Amino acid sequence: MLATLAAACRDSTRVRFSYVARDDSASQRHTEPCSVVHTGYRWYLVAFDLDRDDWRTFRIDRIRGRVRPGGRGHRRTVPGGDPAAFVNDRLRASSAADPDAAPGRIRVRASASEIVRRIPSRSATVEPDGEDCCIVTTRGPWSRHFLVWMALLDQPMEVLGPPS
C-alpha cells in the first residue's frame, strides 16, 4: 500500500480508498496525493481531498482494502510547502483537545545534554536543572507521543506537574 501511495504522489494520480477515522466512522475518499510522511511513529498520506475541497492527512494503517486509481490528477503543493511540517501541525492540533491544559513537567535524573538527544524537539523542551538533572516540559498538553518518549528514556524521573 505504501508503494502504491508513493507512486500515486510521484505520478500525480488520483486515488480512491475506504478510510476509518479515529472515531471508527468509515468513509470513501477521493484524493490527489501529495506526499507520504513518516513521523517516526506512523506513516501518513498528505492529500487534497476532492470531495471536501481541502487538504487532509490520512493514517495509512487506517486505509482499508485496495487503493484504487482514480484518473489523472494535478500536482499540488501542500500549504506551507513542507508535507512533514503539515502533518506535525495537524497532529499537534488534534492532540490539543484542551488548549488551556497545563503542559507536563518532569524532572529527569540525567544531564540535559544526554536527554536533549533522545527527546524530539517537536514533543518537548529540555532545560538543565543542575549537573545531573534536567526538566522536560511538553509542548502543549500531555500526549501519548510524549509519554512514549519519556518511558523510553529508562531514567529515574519525578512528575512536577500538572497535579492531575
C-alpha cell at 148: 512514549
The CATH number covering residue 54 comes to 2.30.30
Same domain as 110, residue 76? no
Amino acid at 128: P
Q: Kindly state whether residue 61 falls inside one of the protein's structural domains.
A: yes
> In total, how many domains does the chain have?
2
pLDDT of residue 151: 87
Query: For the chain, how big is the Rg over CA atoms in Å?
Result: 19
Q: Kindly state whether residue 100 falls inside one of the protein's structural domains.
A: no
pLDDT of residue 31: 97
Q: Whole-structure pTM over 0.85, yes or no? A: no
Query: Model confidence over 46-56: pLDDT tens digits?
Result: 999 999 999 99
As to burial, measured by CB atoms within 10 angstroms (0-12 exposed, 13-18 middle, 19+ buried), residue 4 is: middle
Query: Model confidence over 64-115: pLDDT tens digits?
Result: 999 999 899 999 999 999 999 999 888 877 655 555 667 889 999 999 999 9
Same domain as 67, residue 16? yes
Q: Which residues contact 20 (CB under 8 A, 6 or more apart)?
A: 26, 62, 64
Crossing angle between the packed helical segments 83-95 and 144-153, to the nearest 10 degrees = 100
